[in-house]
C-alpha cells in the first residue's frame, strides 16, 4: 500500500510497501494531473507547464517515450515501482529519499501566503487578523496548518480561493505561489493585484526517476535537460505560463 501526503499542490512519498507484480514494467514519462502542471483544456488538448517541459525533454533525448497524465496517488505508485518511469517533482525530503533526482530544471517552487494588494505580510505574526483562504488539501507548514488562532476559510480549489480574493472576501491565499498566480491570471488578474508573498519554503523542481532506472536512459534524459537549459527552452516555457500578463480563459 502506498501512503502519500499532499501539500500545496504537490505530493511527497512518506512511506510505501510495494508489490511490483501489480504493475507492468513498461517505461514512460508521467506528468502530475493538476492545473497548471498537466491538464486537458476545453478543446481536448493536453497542456500544462510540466507536461510541456517533459515533451521537450523526450524530444531532445531522442527516446521514444510516452508522456501520460497521472493523478497524484497513481503517480507515486508508478514511480516507486521498479524501473517504471520519470516525472518532474520538487526536491522535498521524501522525494529525495525515495526517488532518483536526475537533474534540476531551474524552476524554484515557492510556497507560502500570497496577499492581495494593500495587505502587507512581513512575518508570521502579520498573518493575525487576516482572513486566509487555504484550499482543501493544502498542507505545507506544521505551525501554520495547526494554528487555530488564524482566521482560515477552506475553498475546495485554488480557483475558488482566487475568486474569493477577487471579490474581497479574503485577504490572502495559501499554497504554491506560482499555482495561485497562474489561476489568478486565468481569472483576469494582474501581478500588481497582489502584494509580496510571505514565503515559507523554496524547493527546486527536478527531473526525477524511479531508483533503478536504466543507466543509458538516465544519461540521455539528463543530457537532454542540460541541453534544454543551456538553450533557454525550459525558461521560455516557464515564462509562457507564469509571466505577469493576463491569460485567456481555460476551464
Q: Which residue, chain included where needed, has cell 537533474? A: 103
Same domain, 161 and 173: yes
Same domain, 22 and 77: yes
Residue 249 lies in a domain: no
Same domain, 92 and 66: yes
Give the C-alpha separation, 152 to 174, whole Å.
Answer: 10
Domain hosting residue 41, numbered range: 2-107+206-242
CATH code of 115's domain: 3.40.190.10
Same domain, 133 and 187: yes
Q: Which of these, 141, 192, 183, lies nearest to 161 by C-alpha position?
A: 183
pLDDT tens digits, one per residue of 71-115: 877 888 888 876 689 999 999 888 888 899 999 999 999 999 999
Residue 214 lies in a domain: yes
Residue 177 lies in a domain: yes
Residue 250 lies in a domain: no
User: Quick one: CA dihedral 169, 175, 180, 181, positive or negative?
Assistant: positive
Q: What is the pTM of this model?
A: 0.79
Residues of the chain with pLDDT under 50: 1-24, 246-251
Give the C-alpha separation, 163 to 79, whole Å.
Answer: 35
Provide the pLDDT for residue 243.
Answer: 80
How many structural domains compose the chain?
Answer: 2
Amino acid at each position: 500500500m502506498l501512503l502519500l501526503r499532499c501539500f500545496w499542490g504537490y505530493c511527497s512519498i512518506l512511506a510505501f510497501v510495494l508489490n511490483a507484480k501489480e504493475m507492468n514494467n513498461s517505461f514512460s514519462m508521467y506528468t502530475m494531473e493538476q492545473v497548471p502542471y498537466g491538464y486537458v483544456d476545453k478543446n481536448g488538448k493536453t497542456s500544462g507547464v510540466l507536461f510541456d517541459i517533459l515533451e521537450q525533454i523526450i524530444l531532445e533525448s531522442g527516446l521514444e517515450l510516452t508522456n501520460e497524465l497521472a493523478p497524484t496517488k497513481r503517480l507515486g505508485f508508478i514511480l516507486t515501482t521498479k524501473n517504471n518511469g520519470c516525472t518532474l517533482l520538487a526536491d522535498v525530503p521524501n522525494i529525495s529519499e525515495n526517488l532518483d533526482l536526475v537533474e534540476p530544471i531551474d524552476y524554484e517552487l515557492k510556497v507560502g501566503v500570497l496577499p492581495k494588494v494593500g495587505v502587507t505580510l512581513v512575518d508570521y505574526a502579520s498573518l493575525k487578523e487576516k482572513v486566509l483562504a487555504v484550499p482543501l488539501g493544502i498542507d505545507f507548514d506544521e505551525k501554520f496548518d495547526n494554528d487555530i488562532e488564524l482566521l482560515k476559510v477552506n475553498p475546495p480549489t485554488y480557483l475558488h480561493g482566487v475568486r474569493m480574493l477577487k471579490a474581497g472576501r479574503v485577504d490572502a491565499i495559501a499554497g504554491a505561489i506560482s499555482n495561485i498566480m497562474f489561476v489568478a491570471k486565468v481569472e483576469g488578474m494582474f501581478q500588481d493585484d497582489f502584494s509580496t508573498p510571505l514565503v515559507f519554503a523554496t524547493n527546486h523542481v527536478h527531473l526525477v526517476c524511479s531508483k533503478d532506472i536504466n543507466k543509458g536512459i538516465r544519461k540521455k534524459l539528463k543530457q537532454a535537460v542540460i541541453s534544454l537549459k543551456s538553450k533557454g527552452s525550459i525558461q521560455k516555457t516557464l515564462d509562457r505560463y507564469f509571466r505577469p500578463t493576463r491569460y485567456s480563459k481555460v476551464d
